[in-house]
Amino acid sequence: MKQKLFVPAFLWFCISLVLLCLPGSTFPKYPWLAAIHADKWIHIGMFGILCYLFSYPFLVGGKDVQAIQRKIFIITIAGIVYGTVMEFVQKYWIPNRSFEIWDIAADSTGCLVAFFYCRRYLKKIGPDRNRDRNQN
């Protein structure tokens, strides 16, 4: 597997880490953003992209569908743990940020969206991959 396929994932991880560690006072305060729960949608997108980018190298480079599914499951769990840990970091170490259980729910939702998207992708291409593996 080519390690360069992980570069976008690590870059996105660094971006997410910076964004999650910004002080709360740096974010705009518009009532309409709160009304549409924009921060929750951002969390879903951020963590969905993160899990997908870490899963992508396995989707395009692996041959064993079951092994790929296990790796994607582990990536999903790691994403959920990362989101939960970052909420505690925000609560205890980042000024003007707080712990929100709904942020953890949004992070987890994003991770699960990526997980199910990747599983669906694997189901589409899985039989072809297994056939290729059996021929080699």
**What's the pTM?**
0.86
In whole angstroms, give the CA distance from residue 110 to residue 76.
9
Query: pLDDT tens, 71-126?
Result: 999 999 999 999 999 999 999 999 988 899 999 999 999 999 999 999 999 988 86
Query: Which residue in 23, 22, 127 sits closest to 65, CA to CA?
Result: 127
In whole angstroms, give the CA distance from residue 127 to residue 88.
42
Torsion of CA 6, 10, 16, 22, to 10 degrees: -170
Torsion of CA 112, 18, 32, 42, to 10 degrees: -20
Query: pLDDT tens, 5-34?
Result: 999 999 999 999 999 999 977 766 767 566
Residue 85 tokens read as 């840990």
